[in-house]
Amino acid sequence: MSIVRKMFFNPTLIRHYHKQTSHKPTKALLRKRIPFVTDLKDIRNPEEALALFHDYCETGTFKHDYPSYSSLIYKLARRRNYEAVETLLQQLQHYNVKCKEALFIGLIQHYGKSRLPDKAIDLFRRMPSFDCYRSLQSLNTILNTLLDNERFTDADEMFKSCSKMGFRPNAVTYNIMIKGWLTKGEWDEARKVFDEMHEKEIEPTVVTYNCQIGFWTKRGKFTEGKNIFNEMIQKGKKPNAISYSLLMECLCSQENFKEAKKMMFDMEYQGCKPRHVNYGILMNDLAKRGNFDEAKTLLLEMKKRRIKPDVVMYNILVNYLCKETKVGEAYKILVEMQVDGFEPNAVTYRMIVDGFCKNGEFDEGLKVLNAMMVSGHCARLETFCCLVVGLVEGGNLEDGLFVLEEMVKRRMCPDLGCWEALVASICGGDTSGDLLVAELV
């Protein structure tokens, strides 16, 4: 028996739990503060979380129930401590703690992200043993998890066994399977599932059609994608902004920007208001081709139409300006964002700092780094190291040491290049400093 298992099943630490008759909770009860859950929020280390769990048990005055267990399980799952998670699940069964479906859905998703599809399948099958009802949401979650982990055969078998398990698939279920077949490049199989929807009298959604439109447009087949688009309209289903964006992106990839822009402005006549995703496709195409003035004009058009640009729109411009070594202009975009009331995100700052470093403008890069850190964002390790080396080799040892200190505060380890630059600067360029660097490393 593992140490974790021994800790959890120590009868001197844990009181027995019995399933109680459910009562409708009052608003006051729902708002009631749970001390363990409150304290758990500030803990990141899984071992500390487990220790806190046992500390509450030892007091003898606190009884862990579903909120306590679920909060701890979520925290452990995020840290991928699945041994402790499994022990807690066994304890839930042992003490007959009534569980909610959301707990298992969340765990199945965590198993999927950790590339543990077998554990996800096992948990899905065990859910009834926890006296927990499995809804279609659980089924759809496990199907998604299996497809994301390239376990298509398992997903297909489970989909075909829906009726045996007591499920009646809905449009979301079919959309998941259609997307799965299309991901494999199996158009005919996807259409078979689509036809089955009609046979079962399950109405396709916009997502059902968008998956199929995307299948063709991502392959550069605009005509085929447009045929699905028209089929959707004929069936009485109204296209959304994503439907148009898929076609627009295909047109742009074929260097047909004018048609893509015309399609976006035709959207409104069809009762579909353009969204950020539509403007983003046009912005990306313009910036990629170096048409920055036209791209900026597009931002003005958005504002005239009372569509507030988001950070992503500005980041598209910043990204391509930096790639074209026009970092000064990218920096002006950052300032413009702030003047217009938009807060740059970590990506915005990182691109500009990296851009200045690439251009050898390390003092300018440091200014943006300072603004970045004040805003609560952090640069990548490579960026910090590049700044240290650039500043020190440029004769700015004081600022180089400042950046190094900031790295240490964030528990980042300077690379060999940083130490070499520092030692070379301190030793006045004497190459014998390399021996000192080796000792430091």
Give percent of the chain with pLDDT exceeding 70: 82
285 and 260 Cβ atoms separated by less than 8 Å = yes
More confident residue, 427 or 237: 237
Whether the per-residue pLDDT at 29 is higher than 60: the answer is: no
User: What's the Cα-to-Cα distance from 218 to each of 27, 44, 194, 251, 313, rounded to whole Å?
Assistant: 50, 41, 20, 11, 22
More confident residue, 437 or 236: 236
Query: What pLDDT, on the 0 to 100 scale, is given for residue 225?
Result: 96
Which amino acid would we find at residue 124?
Answer: F
At 407, list the tokens: 């790295």
Query: What pLDDT, on the 0 to 100 scale, is given for residue 45?
Result: 59
Whether the per-residue pLDDT at 349 is higher than 80: the answer is: yes
Query: What pLDDT, on the 0 to 100 scale, is given for residue 307?
Result: 87
| Average per-residue pLDDT for the chain | 85
Q: Can you tell me the distance from the alpha carbon of 229 to that of 213, in angstroms, rounded to the nearest whole number?
A: 7
Residue 197: pLDDT band by 50, 70, 90 thresholds?
very high
Residue 90: pLDDT band by 50, 70, 90 thresholds?
confident
Burial of 157 (0-12, 13-18, 19+ CB in 10 A): exposed
Query: What pLDDT, on the 0 to 100 scale, is given for residue 35?
Result: 58
Mean pLDDT of 308-325: 92
* Overall pTM > 0.75: yes
360-407 pLDDT per residue, tens:
999 999 999 999 999 999 989 999 999 999 998 888 888 988 998 898
Whether the per-residue pLDDT at 49 is higher than 80: the answer is: no
Mean pLDDT of 56-69: 63
Q: Produce one character per residue of 242-270: b if its CB has 16 or more CB atoms within 10 Å, e if not.
A: bbbbbbbbbbbeeebbeebbebbeebeee
199-210 pLDDT per residue, tens:
999 999 999 999
Residue 17: pLDDT band by 50, 70, 90 thresholds?
very low
Whether the per-residue pLDDT at 7 is higher than 50: the answer is: no
185: region left, alpha or beta (phi > 0 left; psi from -120 to 50 alpha):
left
Q: Can you tell me the distance from the alpha carbon of 240 to that of 278, in angstroms, rounded to the nearest whole number?
A: 11
Alpha helices in 95-170 (DSSP H): 101-113, 117-126, 136-148, 152-160
388 and 409 Cβ atoms separated by less than 8 Å = no
208 and 194 Cβ atoms separated by less than 8 Å = yes
334 and 352 Cβ atoms separated by less than 8 Å = yes
Q: Pick from 360, 335, 334, 338: which is nearest to 347 by CA?
A: 334
Q: Can you tell me the distance from the alpha carbon of 398 to that of 404, in angstroms, rounded to the nearest whole number?
A: 10
Query: What pLDDT, on the 0 to 100 scale, is given for residue 396?
Result: 87
At 101, list the tokens: 């479906």
Number of H helices, E strands in the chain: 26, 0
Residue 51: pLDDT band by 50, 70, 90 thresholds?
low
Query: What pLDDT, on the 0 to 100 scale, is given for residue 269?
Result: 87
In this structure, of 52-61, 96-105, 321-330, the range with the lowest mean pLDDT score is: 52-61
Residue 5: pLDDT band by 50, 70, 90 thresholds?
very low
Residue partners of 418: CB distance under 8 A and separation at least 6 = 385, 388, 389, 404
At 346, list the tokens: 């970590």
Mean pLDDT of 31-53: 60
Return phi, psi of residue 151, to 5°.
-105, 60
128-158 pLDDT per residue, tens:
999 889 999 999 999 999 999 999 999 999 9
Query: What pLDDT, on the 0 to 100 scale, is given for residue 47?
Result: 65
Residue partners of 216: CB distance under 8 A and separation at least 6 = 222, 224, 225, 228, 250
Residues in the chain, how many? 441
